[in-house]
Structure formats: structure tokens, C-alpha cells
Amino acid sequence: MNRIATVSIMLVLFALPAVAQKKKTAVKTQYDKFKDVTCGSVYLGDVAPFRVLSGENAAVLMDASYCSSGQKLERPTIIEIRLRSRATTWLAGMRDPTPRVIFLLDNNDRLSLQGKYEYVVDKVLGALSQITIAATADEVLKIAGAKTAEFQISGEGYKLKQNNLAKLKDLAENGSP
């Protein structure tokens, strides 16, 4: 009888920490003590299909982030999605500084988001074409909840993989309620 009670108590003691552990997430959290701001971000990597346009690599890097004031990351309202590429042909002919990025979800649902085009210089990557999209958390969840998600910029189409959609979902659902 004592042995059963001891084993039962040990199971409870070892099971509680396992239940209390946080779910593993792709969201990286960083607190800036000087600005008193906490930011959450996910890196999706190269979302371009492998192909060579005009003899150059057409890599398109994607990441998403949002920030909250204070040391606690709150639920996002606006999430910044950033697309960057060094390929000179990526945005050839882009004249509009506010391009539309059209997402096609599950092959028939369209979501059009306004972007902001910039030419930037990154410390690591050098000169880049960049489009920044300010999307609501609901819009990001709509994209992340799709079985298939593709988007188009300036005539070029890109498809997000399931692991990328999972990362976007983690970010949109992240933070305290």
C-alpha cells in the first residue's frame, strides 16, 4: 500500500512540471530594456521557388514581427510582414511605392494587402529591394489557416510551405490575451 501511494505521489510530482511547460513555438522574443519594448518575430526564410531569372538567384526572404510596450509580449494587433530580395529582376519595373500583395488562399479566396516598397541596405545582406506589409492579426491568421497559400508581387508568384504557415499562426496567436 505504501509503495502504491509513493509511486502515485511521484507521478503527480513529475507530471505537473510537464503539464506546466509552455508549448514549443517558432516565435523569438526579445526585450529592449532601453526602449521598454518586447518584440516577437518569426523567420520564414527563402520563399521563392528555386529558379534563376536572368542569370541571378531569385531568393525572396520573408519574416514577420510585432512589438508590445513593456516586458510582456501582448497579443498583436498589427503584424509587419517583410519580403526582401537582392535579385535586380525581382521588382524590375516597380514604379509604385505602395504595391498590392495578393494572397490566394486555398486556390480561390483572395486577400489583397497594401505594401510599402523601399530600397534598403542591410548590414549583412547588402543592397535589397524590400516590401513591408502591415497586416492585422486576423489577416495573418486567415493566411496561416489556409491549406495552401500563394502570393503574387509584380507578376511573380510564390507559395508558402506548411511550416511557414505554422510559424505565422504561432506569431499571430502569440502573447498574453
Lowest mean pLDDT among 8-12, 129-133, 171-175: 8-12
Check if the beta carbon of residue 140 is closer than 8 Å to that of residue 133: no
What pLDDT shows up at residue 169? Answer: 95
Name the band, by pLDDT with cuts 50, 70 and 90, for residue 127: confident
Average pLDDT over residues 117-129: 80
Give the model confidence (pLDDT) of 56-75 as tens digits: 556 789 999 999 999 999 99
Q: Which amino acid is at 85?
A: S
Average pLDDT over residues 129-144: 94
- Residue 107 has which C-alpha cell? 486556390
CA distance linking residue 103 with residue 79, whole number of Å: 16
- Residue 167 has which C-alpha cell? 510559424
Q: What is the pTM of this model?
A: 0.79
What pLDDT shows up at residue 59? Answer: 79
Name the band, by pLDDT with cuts 50, 70 and 90, for residue 88: low
Average pLDDT over residues 76-99: 77
Which comes out higher in pLDDT, residue 107 or 17?
A: 107
Mean pLDDT of the chain: 81
Closest C-alpha to 166, from 26, 23, 24, 49 = 26
Name the band, by pLDDT with cuts 50, 70 and 90, for residue 128: confident
What pLDDT shows up at residue 51? Answer: 53
